């Protein structure tokens, strides 16, 4: 099929390359000329395992990029994969989506025949029908349900395994309101579903599809927070939380994933999506107590980590190594990383901070140009009065003699990744 993707950020680029991989002709539309040029040269604009290879293989053939919306007129289906950032009060900011829908609608005014527009971005329930569709019909002059249809197809890919997550999904969710839109969406996903060994395909309504994304992320974020709540109780009783959580994970009704207790969840999705669905729920008069509690527990974890540090070292004037700046291992993304509240609190308390991360240092430096950075864990630990472990990078499990260079060997582990050994004062958060 002929597909167009508006937006070539994280999700847009990944799905464009993956749709090309399963045999569709894909054009990626973005206002950023550098991104467009890179894609046409066969270079992925973001770092994601497997993406470079797909872009290199399909660029100039089944995958192309342009800044010109007119290219959309030659396609059957358009996916809107534009950012929906957070506003200060948690609501999502739809201005980029609205501007994209406006340009798309104006382009479709010049297209004869039917077009399907699918929301790929994460948007709160009813956005596609109540906000996007009216802009599209107004700008295009088309009639919803006749020569224009809308759809919603939420994305569950994780950073660091985005290509694999897209090509081998647990489930595919297709939201549509008309038979024609449903048929078209199925046509887009049929080759991917066949290749992925027939994962479940959930055919549902547009608003249901929007909600499924928030429900999915809200549930996972709350699951981690519940694990943290339980782990905090264990800590107070001096019970091994890992043994407890591993055991409950064996109950198939609970499951073992996303029970990793520690300093909490970050990233571009969980914090934003949980805040957005809380704000949307309040707009319609409902206070979602469980989701609010999930945020509260998550906010508390870095504070508790500092409490553990204070039991051994007064941060005022202390040199503190922060090991791990990325929001999770395997990425250079620092959005909502737990390192952010921790570094803020350390600086407020008068500490001298030295940060280390295998790949995220440059991104962190942009936000915190004033702190010191080391190019290895060893160098960060050298002369430090304490170390805080914030991200569970596997290399931190191998640290050993590196701790010998510390001025006082206090290690406060927010992820239970460091191996306990003689000669260090080891304190775990959970
Ligand atoms: C998440 C969702 O998993 C994905 O489906 C959605 O599309 C986007 O958001 P991502 O943000 O890339 O993906 O990372 P993920 O691996 O889910 O981790 C999110 C955060 O939770 C990280 O900060 C991670 O460290 C933390 N986490 C994860 C835990 O604290 N414990 C766990 O057991 C798992």
pLDDT digits (tens, 9 = 90+) for 282-291: 999 999 999 9
The DSSP output letter for 370 is: T
pTM of this structure: 0.96
Please state, in angstroms and rounded to a whole number, the distance separating the CA atoms of residues 203 and 213. 14
Strands 148-152 and 115-119, how do they pair? Answer: parallel
Task: Please indicate whether residue 219, judged by its CB atom, sits closer than 6 Å to ligand 1.
Answer: no
What distance in Å separates the CA atoms of residue 363 and residue 261, rounded to the nearest whole number? 25
The CB of 262 under 6 Å from ligand 1? The reply is yes
Neighbours of 109 (CB within 10 A): 13
Nearest-angstrom CA–CA distance, 251 and 265: 23
First-to-last alpha carbon distance for the chain, in angstroms, is 51
**Those residues with Cβ within 8 angstroms of residue 244's Cβ, 6 or more apart along the chain or in another chain:** 230, 231, 234
pLDDT tier, 269 (very low <50, low <70, confident <90, very high otherwise): very high
Rounded Cα distance between 173 and 207, Å, is 12
Is 341's pLDDT higher than 90?
yes
Pocket lining: 213 vs ligand 1, CB cutoff 6 Å: no
Residue 46, pLDDT > 90, answer no
Q: Which residue has the tokens 């990078």?
A: 393
| Ligand 1 centroid to residue 217 C-alpha, Å | 9
What does the pLDDT look like over 97-130, one tens digit per residue?
A: 999 999 999 999 999 999 999 999 999 999 999 9
Ligand 1 centroid – CA 328 distance (Å): 8
Structure tokens given for 398: 């191998």
As a whole number, the mean pLDDT across the chain is: 97
256 touches 248 (CB < 8 A): no
How does DSSP classify residue 90?
Answer: S
Question: Which tokens belong to 308?
Answer: 């553990």
* 66-96 pLDDT, tens digit each: 999 999 999 999 999 999 999 999 999 999 9
* Ligand 1 atom closest to Cα of residue 157: 7
- CB of 157 closer than 6 angstroms to any ligand 1 atom: yes
Which one of 44, 55, 211, 269 is the catalytic residue?
269
What integer is the mean pLDDT of 373-377?
98
What span, in angstroms and rounded, lies between the C-alpha atoms of 276 and 278?
A: 5
Mean pLDDT of 13-36: 97
């Amino acid at each position: 099929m002929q597909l167009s993707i508006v937006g070539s950020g994280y999700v847009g680029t990944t799905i464009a390359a993956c749709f090309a991989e399963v045999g569709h002709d894909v054009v990626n539309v973005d206002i950023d000329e550098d991104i467009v040029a890179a894609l046409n040269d066969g270079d992925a604009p973001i770092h994601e395992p497997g993406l470079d290879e797909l872009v290199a293989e399909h660029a100039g053939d089944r995958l192309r990029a342009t800044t010109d919306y007119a290219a959309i007129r030659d396609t059957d289906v358009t996916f809107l994969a534009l950012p929906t950032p957070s506003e200060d009060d948690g609501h999502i900011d739809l201005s980029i989506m609205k501007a994209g829908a406006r340009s798309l609608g104006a382009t479709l005014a010049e297209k004869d025949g039917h077009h399907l527009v699918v929301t790929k971005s994460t948007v709160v329930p009813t956005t596609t029908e109540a906000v996007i569709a009216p802009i599209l019909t107004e700008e295009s002059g088309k009639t919803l349900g006749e020569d224009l249809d809308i759809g919603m197809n939420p994305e569950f890919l994780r950073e660091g395994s985005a290509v694999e997550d897209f090509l081998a999904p647990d489930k595919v969710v297709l939201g549509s309101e008309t038979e024609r839109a449903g048929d078209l969406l199925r046509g887009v996903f049929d080759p991917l579903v066949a290749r992925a060994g027939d994962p479940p395909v959930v055919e549902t309504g547009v608003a249901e599809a929007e909600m499924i994304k928030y429900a999915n992320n809200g549930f996972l974020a709350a699951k981690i927070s519940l694990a943290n709540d339980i782990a905090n109780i264990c800590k107070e009783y001096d019970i091994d939380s890992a043994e407890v959580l591993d055991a409950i994970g064996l109950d198939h009704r609970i499951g073992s994933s996303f029970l990793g207790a520690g300093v909490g969840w970050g990233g571009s999705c969980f914090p934003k999506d949980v805040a957005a669905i809380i704000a949307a729920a309040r707009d319609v008069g409902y206070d979602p107590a469980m989701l609010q509690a999930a945020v509260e527990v998550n906010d508390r974890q870095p504070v508790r980590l500092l409490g553990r540090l204070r039991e051994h070292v007064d941060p005022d004037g202390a040199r503190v190594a922060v090991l791990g700046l990325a929001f999770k291992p395997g990425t250079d993304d620092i959005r909502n990383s737990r390192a952010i509240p921790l570094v803020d609190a350390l600086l407020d308390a008068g500490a001298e901070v030295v940060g280390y991360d295998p790949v995220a240092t440059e991104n962190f430096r942009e936000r915190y140009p004033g702190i010191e950075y080391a190019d290895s864990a060893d160098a960060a630990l050298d002369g430090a009065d304490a170390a805080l472990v914030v991200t569970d990078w596997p290399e931190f499990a191998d640290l050993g003699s590196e701790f010998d260079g510390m001025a006082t060997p206090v290690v406060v582990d927010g992820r239970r990744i460091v191996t306990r050994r003689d000669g260090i004062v080891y304190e775990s958060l959970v």
